[in-house]
Amino acid sequence: MKTSSEKPDFDSLLGGDVKIPQSVSIKPFIRARMDEIEALTQLIETPSNNILLKQKFPKHMRRRAMSQNVKRIPKRLREHHIDMREKSGIREVPIKRPRRKYRRRPQNLLSDYNRRQKEFIWLETHIWHAKRFHMVEKWGYKLADFPNDKSYRACYRATTKHCLIQDISFYCCIELSGLLNDILEGMEKHTSSECGLTFCSKYIQSGKTEGHVTFFKSGRYPYGAIGEINYIWQPCSQISETDTLVLWLWCHPSYYSEILEELIKSYGLDQNEENQNLDFMEEDDTKTVEDIKLEIKNIPFGKCPTYHSRINSVKMVLLKDTLNCFRLTGPLSQALLTSCFKEIDLSKRTVCDWSMQFKDKIDIFKKQLLFWEKMKNITHPGQLPPNLVFGLLAVDPRLTMPHHKNKAVGNISDFSCQSLHSIEEGLSYSPIWSSKVRDEVSASKLSTQRLNELRSEKLIPGIEVELNNENINNFPAVPCLFIHRPGTHMDGKPTGYSSGWDIIVPAGYGQPVWLGLVMHGGRAGGLKETASISREAGILYQHPDTAAGKLEDEHRKNELTKIFFRIPPAKRPNYIKLGFPTPFNCPWNILIRDWTDGEHESFFVLRNIKQLICLKNKLMKIRNKLSFEPTMTSALVGVMITLKGKGSLDNNAYICIPTKSDLETLKADPDFSGPVEEKHRDVFKENRKSALEDHQKLLRKLTRKRRKERKQVEKVNECSKSDEIISEHSEIMKRLWLPECTTIKEYDCRTVVGFVTNGDFSFTNAKSSGVGYICLKGLLALFQLLEEFEKNRYVLVRNHNSNQYRFAAINIIC
Amino acid sequence: MEEDTSKVPQSTNTKHYYKRQHYKSDSDHILRKRIPPRDIRGPNDFYITNNSNFKGQLAQCIKALDKGESEIVLCGSGAAVPRAINLALQLEDKYSGSYSLDVHTSTIHLVDDLESISNTHESRSQTRCNSCVKIRVYKINE
């Protein structure tokens, strides 16, 4: 054999023919075996699998968390273990989270806060709110939804008797500047003079008041609405053709990007790349806490994105998140405002800071102070000229904050002072319009630490000392802008309900101003309060013809559907039996299609103010003729619905036209509560039953199959898995519970004309009431019917969970 | 349009006019009434409105008086004046002998804003007067 000849078995001493040498020279010996040795050492030093030392411990020495924590291993063996671990490349545990005490150090905390704001931006008062409110992620922000404490009624009471405060800094500001004609030219396509005052109004151009306008997609009026925006012009006494004017647009974040897109298109704007902001990017070691707080915001001004027009003089700067805005609602907002902000008399100010450059405007500031004194004598914001804009130079509110929370009720020294009829020139002037001033004010904000140091230096601390201080005029100043909001003027609602003020302050002062307002007795509210106020006041928002409104509807529908299917089937309301095919949304498209016989699918909300007034007058005096020819069949009209007697009103309730017999019965019996919808036949009941049975049969079959397979081969076949089948079945069941709605107008025994979008019990009416829309054609049909029943001008409404129709009064919102 | 809107429109002072016609909205303006000027409301002030239930208002006043208040004030303006008087008389009737009435009449100046609805017209405001009554119901000291 070949192998035996190559591998000699015996050495010469034993009779073999191989001679073993007397000595071995190590070097050549090792060299010959180098490869093997290397391979062996490699294997020892780097174990291929992670069988570590710890697994070789005797049982009594093993500890559960050894693999997590080295310190569980006896100390004498630990070194070896660490060595082994390093060599095998296994990492111990995910990176250790720093201990709480370390995380809570101000510096680390701040950087962590900034990191957490990357996805959803926080308002400056976020931490205050996060402790006390339910927070929601909406429109790119983390916003306060509703307070944690039991406060629904308290918040309503605040709006009627005291003052409700809301942080609405999420409203986005866009600054447009340029020649008047250039700005107006671009805006003309986006607005319509039929909807009320537009940018062309000379009265609003003076900057004395704030304007409101509905923004449309370029040239698409009446379709293509985007949303409502508020705007203020920078005040100037004489508007000339060659002056550069500045305009601030305030819009809701849900349609901010849409508006931005439209503006860029219609002005031909280009973004300035690589602008001067490099100077600000320089990393500074001497950053204060206040600087880090504002790090992620577009402050200083140079960081704001800037756009220049290719065509004309228009320039756009996005001031999003660089200004704070607070909303005060309620009669005491007057008292709250005047007690929270202490004015600074510029003529007596001796400190050299940014305010020095406004010394030449001293007359205007004096006028403002005079007006401020008058304001203190007014008990209700509803007594002031509507939409007034007022600028004030105020002391940093932290310096004049009371020690304990108290309620500002206002003290009137001179009641004989009458309401102010008109707005004087110059009241709206404010240094806040200057970007340099804003930057300087934000940068020179006293840190809390410094403030406390200053306080501790005082012999007798307290607000009284500060207020009597002669130096109050030399305290750090904040330019503020107050914008008046007139209340509602709906019939049947208290005049001036929801009136109040909006406060605009520069970045960095959000928290101090907010605390000041809270300490003076304001009641904080969230987004839920916005909805309830607008319902109480009869204001429509998030119109269904805007993209933002549609998105919100869709979102709400999905959420409610999810909740509905979480309820066990036996406990769910059967909407097929109730004859309510759309309990979670308002199918405007279907409604319009039904009313226009399939002519129109798209619709718009009627905003033509003259036509709305005509419709309103017609409803009031039903016998009169309608003074315009209604041709827009695809229009929706905003209405307020107030139930006649008892009953509740929910979102998505149907608004129906009563039949003649209904109104006749009501005429005969004023206590008649309304007709009842017949129970519909549940056509899908059998289908649901059989689908469920089939499904269960199939599942059982699959289970048997799996069991069989497990016995035979130990491995479950892919095809017998039931996850997909279950999800498919749940989809089928969902469709059988809530079948898709194809027609709505004549679905029930009464003709549907519209839906309620925001309905609930209303404290102002002491009845259920809500706002919604009805289609114009339906409204005209209603008018025709009501002409005979002048005294009983009611519609019928029905909630999703009931088959009782109830009579309700109707009011057109304009 | 008027230059100085702070003044009362001349026509109101001089000429005879039909009150209802003058203050209506027209095709270019919407009339928005402002809130009437009023004092800070104390716990014993009752502002009487025609919208509330009369019996409810009466019950409120009786409750306050039964609680031992030495005086309450009923304020009514314009159309609510008769109701305020009626209420006060009812109270006097109920508490004859122990409470007495003290009536003050005055005139308040109300402001209406005429909001223009088209860019060509200017918004303006106008004042009008309204009578109001303040009735003090107070305890007679014996």
Choice among A73-77, A91-95, A224-228 with the minimum mean pLDDT: A91-95
The answer to whether the CB of A468 falls within 8 A of the CB of A391 is: no
Per-residue pLDDT, A169: 93
Out of B4, B37, B115, name the one closest to residue A418 (CB): B37
Residue with the bigger pLDDT between A128 and A491: it is A128
Mean pLDDT of A784-795: 88
pLDDT band at A6 (very low <50, low <70, confident <90, very high): low
> What would you measure as the largest C-alpha separation in chain B, in angstroms?
67
Q: Hey, are the CB atoms on A410 and B5 less than 8 Å from each other?
A: no
Q: Given this model, what pLDDT does residue A417 score? A: 52
Do B119 and A202 lie within an 8 Å CB cutoff?
Answer: yes
- Angle between helix axes A152-160 and A527-537 (nearest 10 degrees) is 50
- Among B35, B110, B122, B124, the strongest candidate for a mutation testing the A interface, having the largest count of A CBs within 10 A, is B35
A410 interaction partners in chain B (CB closer than 8 Å): 40
Is the Cβ–Cβ distance between A369 and A321 less than 8 Å?
A: no
B108 has a chain A CB within 8 A of its CB: no
Does pLDDT of A372 surpass 70? yes
Count of CB atoms situated within 10 Å of the CB of A423:
24
Shortest distance, CA B97 to any CA of chain A (angstroms)? 34
pLDDT level of residue A419 (50, 70, 90 thresholds): low
Is pLDDT at A213 greater than 80 in this prediction? yes
Q: What's the pLDDT tens digit per position in A643-658?
A: 998 899 999 999 999 9
pLDDT on residue A330: 92
Q: Are strands A604-605 and A635-643 parallel, antiparallel or unpaired?
A: parallel
Q: Which residue has better confidence, A284 or A670?
A: A670
- Answer for the pair A260, A318: CB distance below 8 angstroms, yes or no: yes
Rounded Cα distance between A524 and A548, Å, is 26
B83's tokens: 């109701």
Give me the mean pLDDT over the A36-62 stretch: 70
- Mutation site, A334, A384, A407, A419, interface B, largest B CB count within 10 A: A419
Which residues, 6 or more positions from A527, have their beta carbon under 8 angstroms from its beta carbon?
A: A136, A138, A143, A144, A145, A146
ipTM above 0.90, yes or no: no
Amino acid at residue number A121: I
d(Cα A253, Cα A501) in Å, to the nearest integer? Answer: 20
Selecting from B30, B35, B123 the residue whose C-beta is nearest the C-beta of A382 gives B35
Instruction: Please report the pLDDT score of residue A807 as a whole number.
Output: 94
**Interface residues from chain A to B (CB-CB < 8 Å):** 193, 196-198, 200-203, 378-380, 382-386, 409-410, 412, 415, 418-419, 421-422, 486-487, 489, 495-496, 499, 609-610, 613
- Give the gap in angstroms from C-alpha B53 to the nearest C-alpha of chain A: 12
Query: Do B111 and A380 count as a contact with CB atoms less than 8 A apart?
Result: no
Compare all CA atoms of chain B with the CA of A413 and give the residue at the minimum distance: B39
Nearest CA in chain A to B42: A409
Q: Which CATH number fits domain A547-678+741-812: 2.40.30.110, 3.30.2130.10, 2.40.10.220, 2.60.40.420?
A: 2.40.30.110
**pLDDT for the residue A55:** 62
Q: For the segment A494-530, what is each residue's pLDDT rounded down to a tens digit?
A: 888 999 999 999 998 999 999 999 999 999 999 999 9
Task: Find, among A569, A629, A634, A636, the residue nearest to A602 by Cα.
Answer: A634
pLDDT at residue A1 in the model: 44
Residues of A in contact with B40 (CB under 8 A): 379, 409-410, 412
User: What would the mean pLDDT of A209-238 be, rounded to a whole number?
Assistant: 89
The DSSP code for A303 is: G
User: What whole-number distance in Å separates Cα of residue A781 and Cα of residue A711?
Assistant: 72
Residue B17 confidence (pLDDT) above 50: no
Q: Does B3 touch chain A (CB under 8 A)?
A: no
**Mean pLDDT, rounded, for A677-702:** 92
Question: Distance from A812 to chain B by nearest Cα, in Å?
Answer: 15
Average pLDDT over residues A269-276: 73
pLDDT of residue A210: 92
Per-residue pLDDT, A416: 53
B4 — pLDDT class (breaks 50, 70, 90): very low
Extents of the domains making up chain A = 4-88, 171-277+286-318, 323-537, 547-678+741-812, 685-737
Share of chain A above pLDDT 70, in %: 91
CB distance from B71 to chain A under 8 Å? no
Residues 6+ apart with CB under 8 A from A555: none
Closest CB from A383, A409, A489 relative to B37: A383
Give DSSP secondary structure letters for A456-521. HHSSS-SHHHHHH-GGGGGSPEEEEEEEEE-----TTS-TTTT-EEEEEEETT-HHHHHHHHHHTT
Contact call for residues A381 and A499 (beta carbons, < 8 A): yes
Q: Do B40 and A412 touch (CB under 8 A)?
A: yes
Q: How far is CA A274 from CA A450, B63, B74, in A?
A: 36, 73, 69
Query: At A249, phi and psi to the nearest 5?
Result: -105, 130
- Of A552, A621, A498, A491, the residue nearest A227 (C-alpha): A552
Closest CB from A201, A410, A495 relative to B35: A495
Instruction: Answer whether residue A277 shows pLDDT above 70.
Output: no
Q: CB B5 to CB A486 under 8 A?
A: no
User: What confidence tens digit (pLDDT) does each residue in B36-50 have?
Assistant: 887 777 778 899 988
Give the gap in angstroms from C-alpha A489 to the nearest C-alpha of chain B: 7
Query: Average pLDDT of B130-135?
Result: 91
The answer, for B111 touching chain A at a CB cutoff of 8 Å, is yes
CA distance A492 to chain B (A): 9
Give how far B5 is from chain A: nearest CA, Å: 6
Contact assignment for B123 to A495 by CB distance below 8 Å:
no
Q: How does pLDDT run across A578-632, given as a tens digit for each residue? A: 999 999 999 999 999 989 888 888 899 999 988 998 899 888 888 888 878 888 8
Give the CB-side neighbour count of residue A691, counting CA atoms within 13 A.
Answer: 17
Cβ–Cβ contact B113 with A under 8 A: yes
From the list A196, A203, A421, which residue is nearest B122 (CB)?
A: A203
Position A794, amino acid: Y
Count how many pairs of residues, chain A against chain B, have C-beta atoms within 8 Å. 75
Q: Name the B residues in 22-51 with CB < 8 Å from any A CB.
A: 25, 27, 30, 32-40
Handedness of CA A747, A556, A762, A229 (dihedral sign): negative
How close, in Å, is residue A638 to chain B by CA atoms?
18
A568: which residues sit within 8 A by CB, 6+ positions away? none
Chain A residue at shortest CA distance from B111: A421
Do residues A619 and A810 lie in contact, with contact meaning Cβ atoms separated by under 8 Å? Answer: yes
Q: Please list every residue in chain A whose beta carbon sits closer than 8 Å to the beta carbon of residue B113.
A: 385-386, 486
**Higher per-residue pLDDT: A413 or A453:** A453
Chain B, nearest residue to A381 by Cα: B35
Question: Given pLDDT bands bounded at 50, 70 and 90, which one contains residue A697?
Answer: very high
Residue of A422, A488, A616, A812 to mutate for B, most B C-beta atoms under 10 A: A422
Contact at 8 Å (CB) between A139 and A321? no
Residue contact A385–B40, C-beta within 8 A: no
Q: Within a 10 A sphere around the Cβ of A316, how many other Cβ atoms?
A: 24
**B53 interfacial to chain A (CB closer than 8 Å):** no
**Range list of H helices, A18-169:** 26-45, 75-88, 100-103, 106-116, 126-132, 152-160
Verify whether the Cβ–Cβ distance A421 to B111 is below 8 Å. yes
Q: Mark yes or no for CB contact A409/B40 under 8 Å.
A: yes
Mention every residue, 6+ apart, whose C-beta is less than 8 A from residue A778.
A595, A657, A751, A752, A753, A754
State which residue of chain B sits closest to A417, comparing Cα positions: B37
User: At A426, which amino acid appears?
Assistant: G
Q: What share of chain B is helix, strand, coil (3-state, %, to 5)?
A: 25, 35, 35
For residue A532, the model assigns a pLDDT of 93
pLDDT (0 to 100) of residue A284: 54
pLDDT of residue A253: 94
**Mean confidence (pLDDT) of chain B:** 79
What's the CA gap between A690 and A414, in Å, rounded?
Answer: 80
* pLDDT band (50, 70, 90) for residue A717: low
**Nearest CA among A794, A493, A812 for reference residue A670:** A794
Q: CB–CB of B107/B132 below 8 Å? A: yes
Residue type, A503: I
Q: Spell out which residues of chain A touch residue B127, defining contact as CB-CB under 8 Å.
A: 421
- Give residue A106's pLDDT: 77
- Shortest distance between the Cα of A117 and any Cα of chain B, in A, equals 43
Average of per-residue pLDDT values in chain A: 85
